[in-house]
C-alpha cells in the first residue's frame, strides 16, 4: 500500500491594503477574513514613489524579515524571521550612499533612521521589499509595516497598524507573504 504524500501549501498568503473612504492617509488592511484599520503615507498612495514624497507605493511587496524591540521579551507568533533591535541599528535613507535602503550600524554619518525609536513605532517593524532586492536611487527607502502613531496619524510612506492588530496579523505572515497596496 502506497502512503499518501502530504504537501505543504507553498503559496505565500497575501495581505491587501486598500484605501479607506474619507482620508488619503487611511487604509484598510485585509488578511483573509481579518480586516483592520491602518495609516499610510501622508501623501496617500503613489504609482511613482520617490524618496521623501510621503507616499505609500502602489505595489505588491514581499515581506522579507522583521525587527522587534529588545526590551519587550514577549514572543511574537509568526514564521517571519524576526531580529531583536540593538542600539546601533540604523537604516540608511541617503540616496547617493552605497548603503541606501539598507540596515547599517552606528556610527554612520549619512542620513538614516534609528531602528530603536523612542516613539515605539518600530517596536514591531516588518521589512517589505520595496526598492531593496532591486535598488534604485531616489525610489524610496524604509518602507515598513510597523506600529501606528496615536490617532492613526499618517506615516512617511509605510503601512502602520495598532499593536493589537499587528499581533492578529503576525501569525499569517512569513517570508514571501505579499503585501499588495491597491
User: Looking at the domain assignment, is residue 5 inside a domain?
Assistant: no
User: Looking at the domain assignment, is residue 100 inside a domain?
Assistant: yes
pTM for this entry: 0.91
72, 52 in Cβ contact below 8 A? Answer: no
The helix (H) or strand (E) run that includes residue 164 is helix 163-169
User: Looking at the domain assignment, is residue 1 inside a domain?
Assistant: no
- The count of domains in the chain is 1
109-125: buried (b, 16+ CB within 10 Å) or exposed (e) per residue? eeebeebbeeeebbbbb
User: Looking at the domain assignment, is residue 6 inside a domain?
Assistant: no
Tell me the residue range of the domain where 43 lies: 14-181
**pLDDT in tens for each of the 182 residues of the chain?**
444 444 444 445 899 999 999 999 999 999 988 999 999 999 999 999 999 999 999 999 999 999 999 776 577 899 999 999 999 999 999 999 999 999 999 999 999 999 999 999 999 999 999 999 999 999 999 999 999 999 999 999 999 999 999 999 999 999 999 999 99
User: Looking at the domain assignment, is residue 33 inside a domain?
Assistant: yes
130-145: buried (b, 16+ CB within 10 Å) or exposed (e) per residue? bbbeeeeeebbbbbbb
82, 66 in Cβ contact below 8 A? Answer: yes
Cell numbers standing for residue 97: 550612499
90, 104 in Cβ contact below 8 A? Answer: yes
CATH of the domain at 101: 2.40.440
Amino acid at each position: 500500500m502506497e502512503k499518501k504524500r502530504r504537501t505543504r501549501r507553498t503559496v505565500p498568503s497575501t495581505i491587501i491594503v486598500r484605501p479607506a473612504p474619507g482620508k488619503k492617509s487611511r487604509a484598510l488592511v485585509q488578511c483573509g477574513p481579518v480586516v483592520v484599520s491602518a495609516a499610510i503615507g501622508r501623501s496617500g498612495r503613489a504609482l511613482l514613489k520617490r524618496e521623501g514624497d510621503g507616499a505609500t507605493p502602489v505595489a505588491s511587496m514581499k515581506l522579507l524579515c522583521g525587527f522587534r524591540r529588545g526590551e519587550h521579551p514577549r514572543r511574537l507568533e509568526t514564521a517571519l524571521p524576526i531580529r531583536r533591535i540593538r542600539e546601533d541599528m540604523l537604516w540608511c535613507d541617503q540616496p547617493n550612499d552605497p548603503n541606501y535602503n539598507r540596515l547599517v550600524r552606528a556610527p554612520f554619518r549619512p542620513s538614516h533612521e534609528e531602528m530603536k525609536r523612542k516613539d515605539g513605532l518600530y517596536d514591531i517593524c516588518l521589512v517589505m521589499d520595496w526598492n531593496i532586492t532591486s535598488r534604485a536611487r531616489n525610489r524610496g527607502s524604509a518602507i515598513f509595516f510597523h506600529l501606528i502613531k496615536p490617532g492613526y496619524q499618517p506615516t512617511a510612506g509605510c503601512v502602520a497598524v495598532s499593536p493589537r492588530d499587528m499581533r492578529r496579523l503576525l501569525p499569517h505572515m512569513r517570508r514571501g507573504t505579499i503585501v499588495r497596496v491597491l
